[in-house]
Chains A and B, each alone.
Chain A
Amino acid sequence: MNKYWAIFKTQLLNRLTYPADLLGHGVTIVIYLWVFIFLWRTTYRVMGASEGSIAGLTLNQTIWYLMLAETLMLSKPRLSRLISAAVKDGSVAYMLNKPYNFLLYHFSMGLGDSLTNMIFNLLAGGALVWLMQSPPPPAWGWPLVLLTMILAWMIDFCFAAIIGLAAFVAEEVNAFDWIYQKLLFILGGMLIPLDFFPDWLRSISKASPFAYMIFGPARLFVEPSLERFVTLLIGQIIWLSGLGAIVTVSYRRGLRWLAINGG
């Protein structure tokens, strides 16, 4: 484990060496949240619910929900692209014969990347929403949210690894990645809370793993409760176990398929 801890720390320090890059991430989340604040303020006003709620969410809750959803989405690295690029340029050959597990190496690297991105995104996004909208939700729920955010990140890692490993066979995986991102946008509830969905679509979305990656932690953040936390945690663990098994099998099979073109 020491070597993966070292990889994680190295990547963390590497990211902190370029604070301008991290600030850039902060600007990106501010842009998105600024648009969302305008959109949802107008929507609540038009619906006559500026002081009330729509589908159980007040305007403040909706904006803070979107802040956390955006943070989760914008903080994760595009791991599938990294793996695909390594396959295409042949550098995967050098990574596979190193004394570490290829997937755990990317896991440690990705975690280092995400952690730094997440801190800056939370600071920038949180500051904007606090200034423009309202104070944050109750602080007692934050540790619970943090735990579910970590599990959400791990589920995302599994999906990204499955898509990235598809490059062992298909080489070009951009299209799969785009579609995965959009599934997170919609079924995950990144652009709009699932509470606003029509009933039939809400049921489908809530049963999908994507809801456990974005909607679950973001909803827990704005309305923390132990019951909500436990339900979310169990769902996340189930999905993580299933997807983890698929990643392991895909990796073993992918190695047999792999054709190295250069490097």
Chain B
Amino acid sequence: MRRELIFLLALWKANLIAAMEYRASFLTQVIGMILNDGFYFVFWIIFFDRFQQIQGWKLNDMFLLFGLVAAGFGIAVYFFGNTWQLVDVIINGQLDYYLSLPRPVLLHVLASRSISSGLGDAIYGFMSFFLAQQLTLDAFGRFILGIFFSATILISFLVLVQCLAFWIGNAQLLTSNALYAVITFSSYPITLFDGTARFLLLTILPAGLIGAIPAELVRSFSWSRLLQLCGATMIFLSLSVFLFYRGLRRYESGSAIQTQV
């Protein structure tokens, strides 16, 4: 475990050094993403200015939800950037490189790329949290915990979807739609959905577990919610790791010679 952690830190350091080679581009992406998120949130400001509250959700709740999803997404994108391209890595036979090295393959693939704009999302997420008027140390601690759950479930879900490429080949379309769906649904109040829709958002498409449930944990702590999130995180994480290594047995490559720069 300690070895893996040192390895991860080394990868993140290398990614940061690589990004710093193009500082202007790095800063443009980070600042641009903060502005991008801010502009998007104007929608909710206008919406709640007009309608005040929807099913018990007010503007502050949206600040919290949006902040949590943005920070979870941003941290996942920044530290495990290849999560968004795993399907390309699999179908283009680029796993060869990772398979030839004595390190956990999945961890190595996911963390070997960093998307700078993710840092902008994460920073915006924290700004949004501060605007949600939950300014206690206790709530901040729960926010950090919520981000951890949100990012882990998001990464696990996307790995699960992309692992299907081992069986069905080109799963790019499926991946992009799964990503759109999970991000879209996670940034809306879950109280909008009922019955089957809500059940789906808490299971097959775990948008509720990425957004609304962690946000509720931040808003008010409850052991049952914490256990629910711990359980869901464990299940999604285990399933994704299991399916990836199961799929790896079916992996075929064109023996393409590649150099990791």
Contacts and interface: CB of A to CB of B under 8 A. Distances in A.
Given A42-B192, A185-B43, A186-B42, A35 B35 contact: no
A183 interface: yes
B55 interface: yes
A178 to B, nearest CB: 4
A43 interface: yes
A196 interface: yes
- Chain B CB within 10 A, most for which of A24, A39, A171, A175: A175
Contacts of B184: 31-32, 35
Given A31-B184, A32-B184, A186-B39, A172 B28 contact: yes
Contact of A186 (B28, B29, B43): B43
B171 to A, nearest CB: 11
B97 interface: no
Interface in B47-94: 47, 49-51, 53-55
Contact of A192 (B47, B173, B197): B47
Contact of A174 (B50, B117, B191, B192): B117
Contacts of B180: 28, 31-32
Given A32-B184, A35-B185, A178-B33, A43 B40 contact: no
Contacts of B242: none
Interface size grouping (class) on chain A: 20 to 34
Contacts of B255: none
A179 B32 CA distance: 7
A172 B188 contact: no
A32 B173 CA distance: 16
A201 B24 CA distance: 33
Secondary structure of the B side of the interface? Answer: helix
Contacts of B243: none
Interface string B154-186: 000000000000000000010011001100110
B32 A39 contact: no
Interface in A167-221: 170-172, 174-176, 178-179, 181-183, 185-186, 191-192, 196-198, 201
B51 A43 contact: yes
B36 interface: yes
A27 interface: yes
Contact of B54 (A42, A183, A197, A198): A42
A43 B54 contact: yes
Contacts of B28: 170, 172, 174-175
Nearest to A183: B39
A60 B29 CA distance: 39
Contacts of A174: 28-29, 32, 117
A171 B25 contact: yes
A7 to B, nearest CB: 25
Contacts of A46: 51, 53-55
A178 B29 CA distance: 10
Contact of A196 (B29, B42, B46, B55): B46
B30 to A, nearest CB: 9
Interface in B179-203: 180-181, 184-185, 188, 191-193, 197
Interface of A: 20-21, 23-24, 27-28, 31-32, 35, 38-39, 42-43, 46-47, 170-172, 174-176, 178-179, 181-183, 185-186, 191-192, 196-198, 201
21 contacts: A28-B177, A31-B180, A31-B181, A35-B184, A39-B188, A42-B54, A46-B54, A172-B28, A174-B28, A174-B117, A176-B32, A178-B35, A178-B36, A179-B32, A179-B35, A185-B43, A186-B39, A192-B46, A196-B46, A197-B50, A198-B46
Closest 4 CB pairs of A and B: A175-B32, A182-B39, A178-B36, A24-B173
